[in-house]
Amino acid sequence: MSLTFDGRVVLVTGAGGGLGREYALAFGERGAAVIVNDLGGDIKGGGKSSAAADRVVEEIKAKGGKAVANYDSVEDGEKLIQTALDAFGRIDIVINNAGILRDRSFGRTSDLDWDLIHRVHLRGSFLVTRAAWNHMKNQKFGRIIMTSSAAGIYGNFGQANYSAAKLGALGLSNTLAIEGQKYNIHCNTIAPTAGSRLTQTVMPPDLLESLKAEYVAPLVLWLCHEDCQENGSLFEVGAGWIGKLRWERSLGRIVRQKNLSMTPEAVRDTWDEICDFTDAGKPSSIQESLQTLVDVLSRVDTEDGIKANPTSTAVRINPSDAVGRSLSEMSFTYTHMNTILYALGVGMSTKDPDHLKFLFEGHEDFSCLPTFGVIPAQGSMMGLGSVPGLDIDFTRLLHGEQYLELFKPLPTSGTLTSKTTVADVLDKGSGMIILLDVHTYSGQDLVCYNQFSVFIVGAGGFGGKRTSERAVATAPPPNRPPDAVTVDKTSKDQAALYRLSGDWNPLHIDPSFAAMGGFKAPILHGLCSFGFATRHVLKQYAENDVSRFKSIKVRFVKPVYPGQSLQTEMWKEGNRIHIQCKVKETGGVVLSGAYIDLHAGSSVSRGPPEKEELQSDLVFAEIERRIKDVGGELVKKVNAVFGWEITKDGETVRQWTMDLKSGRGDLHREAYKGKTDVTFTVPDEIFMEVVKGKLNPQKAFFAGKLKIRGNIMLSQKLEMILKDYAKL
Ligand code: NAI
């Protein structure tokens, strides 16, 4: 789905040239109404002209876009926003981009050099954004971009004034992100690099030419789109590359001893450790930063000396502190491509006609497999890296268990947002278990709930609790042979295909990476076997009807190698189907303690048959005669139960069962008590058209006039039996 900005009003400051012009054009092209602000001065902040802004407005209009010019300085922030309100009645997006340069080595920097740079870059961004703020708050939507610079992040000779102002913009952005969050106002900062008049004095012409401003605009557009949940982040962008920055902090070292004064000598003597980035943390909030200090205070208080206070544990916090923490919200946009790719990834194939509804977006009953519900949520496991209190070694992470519950069938395309909380952290001695609860929404509607149980080998022993009432439990299967078994061979490329649904762990594709983990080859994703098992159950007990799926719980026990066969054993206990999945070739259990809960099937009888005679009744009378004639011979060959639902005006008015199983050979004018092998739903008149040879049954099927549930292959056997009525 392409990103559009219809109905959105965007202010781009300094949009008369360079990067700003590029943003303004890009927004204009994608439906936004644009306020093109530019003072039209020279590079050092002198002079004034309306020409620059006017040119860009004309360019946008020439392409059919909406735009107005504003010639005020960003120091008149209110006036810029007023232009937006006067012209378009609202303001949704502010791009703080206007800028000048007054480069001087530090010793020669005058007051004016300092002040002018700060007035335009930092104070200008403040004034413009503040003027827009309350409008954004009231409408509960706003997207703001601050423009920083590599000179601010890293420093640059001769740009002390500019560096300070540019990093000031980042500080402003960090706080706006926090204050704006609850009003859906997001603020992010970019540090762009592009050829423009600001860079022409510092870069060679060739490089200048190739660093196009149009390579920066797409990031700005995405960050400003309503689908983008990014907030409070910093990006470097240029030449078609985008990278995200964050802080890294060494574990540090406590240099103070209880009841002793802190000395510069202690700092000197521990300097290497203070500056050692081994196992560095990545604090992302002031709370995390303060937490470290609180922890240090208690440690200094309870311990008595530098030596007894080793660095590696000095600032580590208890994993139990992570309980209740929320991870950043994740947004996931998908189309039918993703759901089809997923279906292929879990072994759906066009070889099986009843898989078509998961593989063909034009199918009238096109559906998304229920287990696709893990896909929008799976990023939560990687998000664990940012949770304070957890110091996760991702090479030791195992996906232990999974629970998924759907509250409605998943849409076949759309945007879903997922909210993750750390539900609990358990100490299992040999490792730590983290329970992650992920709630996934479509708009305001809760679509599904996942619980990921993540096991971190070797991270136990921190004195936490061993069990949790928040964990969704597994359940052993009944003590009897399974009621049904499905065997399905995975393909050699199963993992290569499945990973395209968003699990890029090299363990599933790279032989040398797998070897490091002690596996003889890349292994299949546990969630892929999970998908296989679910579709086996859906087919066996729910006629592939996704609306019957309620929930699934599994424990991942052993890996599967792509190419091995999965054997799903099923036990039906009411609406609960217990499952156990094995590798057929080795007998090794892959999924244990697993079950799927189904919603009760619609056993609603569709009302008594009407008295009215149907055209098809005559045909069925003929079929009945025929079955009697051909006798047991055919029954042996076919061995299946066929059902028909004949409809009129969309209502089922007659049901027929042709029971050709286990030596029986009957036709009944009623629905079958058990499960038919295949059921045809067809309007009376279409049935007659097919019978009379006027309508090809395949065409009727693909046109949605004839519906088939169950094993569609059996319809061919039907042709064999009925001869004259071959088209059925
Ligand atoms: P540019 O000089 O082409 O564009 C800046 C525009 O801002 C000009 O059209 C100018 O007239 C306008 N402007 C200046 N003062 C103004 C004021 N008081 N009110 C309204 N408009 C004003 O420069 P460029 O390169 O497109 O820079 C855009 C932003 O990106 C600036 O904030 C700059 O500091 C930043 N930046 C650019 C880099 C690059 O490689 N081009 C590197 C790092 C940051």
Pocket probe mutation, ligand 1, options 11, 38, 189, max atoms within 8 Å of Cβ: 38
Question: What pLDDT, on the 0 to 100 scale, is given for residue 366?
Answer: 94
Distance between CA atoms of 728 and 716, rounded to whole angstroms?
Answer: 9
Does the C-beta of 340 come closer than 6 Å to ligand 1?
Answer: no
Residue bearing the CA closest to ligand 1, atom 3 = 18
Atom of ligand 1 nearest to the CA of 16: 9
Which residue type does 285 have? S
Question: What pLDDT, on the 0 to 100 scale, is given for residue 465?
Answer: 85
Question: What pLDDT, on the 0 to 100 scale, is given for residue 131?
Answer: 98
- DSSP letter, residue 622: H
Atom of ligand 1 nearest to the CA of 203: 40
Tokens of 242: 């985008």
Does the C-beta of 13 come closer than 6 Å to ligand 1?
Answer: yes
Distance between CA atoms of 493 and 638, rounded to whole angstroms?
Answer: 35
92-126 CB burial, b ≥16 within 10 A, e <16: bbbbbbbbbbbbeeeeebeeebbebbbbbbbbbbb
Burial class (CB in 10 A: 0-12, 13-18, 19+), 169: buried
Distance in Å, CA 198 to ligand 1 centroid: 7
HSE on the CB side for 74, CA within 13 Å? 32
Does the C-beta of 180 come closer than 6 Å to ligand 1?
Answer: no
Residues 297 and 315: beta-carbon distance below 8 Å = no
Which residues fall within 8 angstroms of residue 472, CB to CB, at 6 or more apart?
A: 401, 403, 451, 553
Does the C-beta of 690 come closer than 6 Å to ligand 1?
Answer: no
Question: What pLDDT, on the 0 to 100 scale, is given for residue 719?
Answer: 66
Distances (CA, A) of 584 to 11, 18, 344, 569, 716: 62, 63, 21, 11, 30
Sign of the CA dihedral running 318, 320, 321, 322: positive
Helix (H, G, I), strand (E, B) or coil at 450: strand
Distance in Å, CA 111 to ligand 1 centroid: 21
Question: What pLDDT, on the 0 to 100 scale, is given for residue 663?
Answer: 63
Distance between CA atoms of 448 and 438, rounded to whole angstroms?
Answer: 8
Tokens of 513: 């990476």
Residues 407 and 314: beta-carbon distance below 8 Å = no
Residue 573 pairs in a beta bridge with 576
Comparing CA positions, the residue from 516, 520, 527 lying closest to residue 494 is 527
Pocket probe mutation, ligand 1, options 56, 80, 198, max atoms within 8 Å of Cβ: 198
Indicate which residue of 23, 71, 154, 162 is catalytic.
Answer: 162
Q: Which long-range contacts (CB under 8 A, 24 or more apart) does 607-614 make?
A: 607/651, 607/652, 609/653, 609/654, 609/655, 609/669, 610/653, 610/654, 612/653, 614/646, 614/648, 614/653, 614/654, 614/684
Atom of ligand 1 nearest to the CA of 119: 18
Residue bearing the CA closest to ligand 1, atom 33 = 99
HSE on the CB side for 171, CA within 13 Å? 10
Distance in Å, CA 90 to ligand 1 centroid: 25
Does the C-beta of 655 come closer than 6 Å to ligand 1?
Answer: no
Distance between CA atoms of 47 and 72, rounded to whole angstroms?
Answer: 12
Q: Could you confirm whether 162 is annotated as catalytic? A: yes
Question: What pLDDT, on the 0 to 100 scale, is given for residue 721?
Answer: 59
Residue bearing the CA closest to ligand 1, atom 12 = 14
29-45 CB burial, b ≥16 within 10 A, e <16: bbebbbbbbbbbbeeeb
Does the C-beta of 97 come closer than 6 Å to ligand 1?
Answer: yes
Q: Angle, nearest 10°, between helix axes 615-638 and 714-722?
A: 110
Residues 272 and 217: beta-carbon distance below 8 Å = no
Question: What pLDDT, on the 0 to 100 scale, is given for residue 211?
Answer: 87
Does the C-beta of 653 come closer than 6 Å to ligand 1?
Answer: no
Beta strands (DSSP E) in 458-548 are 484-489
Q: What is the mean pLDDT of each run of 10 residues along the chain (728 residues)?
A: 95 96 98 97 86 96 97 97 97 97 94 96 98 97 97 94 98 96 95 84 75 94 96 95 94 85 90 89 80 76 44 48 84 95 96 93 94 94 77 80 94 93 88 93 91 89 84 93 95 96 90 84 96 96 94 95 97 95 96 94 44 77 75 73 86 83 74 80 86 78 81 73 50
- DSSP letter, residue 247: -
Which residues fall within 8 angstroms of residue 481, CB to CB, at 6 or more apart?
A: none
Does the C-beta of 149 come closer than 6 Å to ligand 1?
Answer: yes
Distance in Å, CA 150 to ligand 1 centroid: 14
Residue in this structure with the two tokens 């700003």, named with its chain if needed: 20
Does the C-beta of 18 come closer than 6 Å to ligand 1?
Answer: yes
Ramachandran assignment for 554, one of left (phi > 0), alpha (psi -120 to 50 degrees), beta (any other): beta
Residue bearing the CA closest to ligand 1, atom 24 = 18
Distance in Å, CA 652 to ligand 1 centroid: 69
Distance in Å, CA 146 to ligand 1 centroid: 12
Does the C-beta of 99 come closer than 6 Å to ligand 1?
Answer: yes
Helix (H, G, I), strand (E, B) or coil at 591: strand
Question: What pLDDT, on the 0 to 100 scale, is given for residue 302?
Answer: 65
Distance between CA atoms of 534 and 530, rounded to whole angstroms?
Answer: 6
Residue 409 pairs in a beta bridge with none
Question: What pLDDT, on the 0 to 100 scale, is given for residue 295?
Answer: 74
Residue 194: phi and psi, rounded to 5, are -160, 150
Distance in Å, CA 497 to ligand 1 centroid: 46
